[in-house]
Amino acid sequence: MTGRRSPLLLTWLGLGYAFLYLPVLLLIVFSFNGSRLVTVWAGFSTRWYVELLNNERIIEAAGLSVAVAAASATLATILGGLGGLALGRIKGFRIRPVAAALLGFLFAAPLVLPEVITGLSLLLLFVSLDNIIGWPGERGFTTIVIAHTTFSLAYVAVVVQARVRLLDPALEEAAHDLGAPPARAFFNVTLPLLAPALAAGWLLAFTLSLDDLVIASFTAGPGATTLPMVVFASVRLGLSPQVNALATLFVIAAGLCVTLAVVLIARTNRTAKI
């Protein structure tokens, strides 16, 4: 390809991005629509945002969603971080390449597993566990957190693993050589160097949990409704401009989290190269 920018190519580029983002843009525009009818424009207004903030059901669901997202992202960061650390150094464990590849694949499989299957299998697990040991009892906050942790830790592991691969293995050896036993070498050298990747992983996990409808629907009980569940339920009863407003806030929150995560990943990969 030469450096020429053909108008045809630019058009295709524009169409491609329009296909991706036009629906979201429409949604944001209509969230500022003064009309009760979702598809008829009646002037600029922020009334739906005001109504949204007074809707107790939605505020409560938002609170639960944020709590679930924060808890599951934290758990996923710890577990996925450890997993990513191990997978990133798997060559050092002197196991067969086939076994190493299999371990890596099994860890990343939740990335491609259909959500319906993940949700259903977790529901089955919780029901049988409850029958056998009497836990977790009624499904709600705890079960959604566990469910979200299981799939989002794979994302954290992928991000952390990439970072671990870029780290010079001599760094930890240098710490040992300078008098730091393994635990201190980990906390003084490895952990600070992984921190940006862990933060990026946390943000990704937080976003994934906040957005999830399918898995939450399987693992939530009658008393616990997350924000996407409220949105989905209300859309079935008919489109409301309030939902547009809510969705706009969602897009902004998720967009911020993902942007921050991408910036963190890019920055950490740059400093890792010295």
Q: From CA 270, how far away is CA 17, in angstroms rounded?
A: 28
| Minimal distance, residue 173 CB to other proteins, in Å | 5
| Minimal distance, residue 19 CB to other proteins, in Å | 41
Stretch that binds other proteins, among 9-17, 25-33, 176-184, 246-254 (CB under 8 A): 176-184
Place of tokens 């929150």: 253
By C-beta, is 27 or 180 nearer to other proteins?
A: 180
173 near other proteins (CB under 8 A): yes
Work out which of 62, 75, 85, 193 binds other proteins, going by CB under 8 A: 193
By C-beta, is 114 or 179 nearer to other proteins?
A: 179
Q: What is the DSSP letter of 121?
A: H
The phi and psi torsions of 125 (rounded to 5 degrees) equal -60, -50
Stretch that binds other proteins, among 96-104, 148-156, 169-177, 207-215 (CB under 8 A): 169-177
Beta pairing partners, 33: 44
Stretch that binds other proteins, among 25-33, 49-57, 185-193, 229-237 (CB under 8 A): 185-193
Tell me the one-letter amino acid at 230.
V
Work out which of 38, 66, 146, 180 binds other proteins, going by CB under 8 A: 180
| CA torsion angle 239 244 245 249 (round to 10) | 140
Work out which of 24, 178, 262, 266 binds other proteins, going by CB under 8 A: 178
Contacts with other proteins by CB under 8 A: the residue count is 20
Contact positions with other proteins (CB under 8 A) in 254-273: 271-272
Spell out the SS3 assignment of 237-267: CCCCHHHHHHHHHHHHHHHHHHHHHHHHHHH
The phi and psi torsions of 44 (rounded to 5 degrees) equal -75, 140
Work out which of 175, 224, 247, 265 binds other proteins, going by CB under 8 A: 175
Q: What is the DSSP letter of 110?
A: G
Specify whether the CB–CB gap between 30 and 251 falls below 8 A.
no
Q: Which two tokens stand for residue 122?
A: 């977790």
170 near other proteins (CB under 8 A): yes
Binding stretches for other proteins (CB under 8 A): 168, 170-171, 173-181, 184, 188-189, 192-193, 271-272, 274
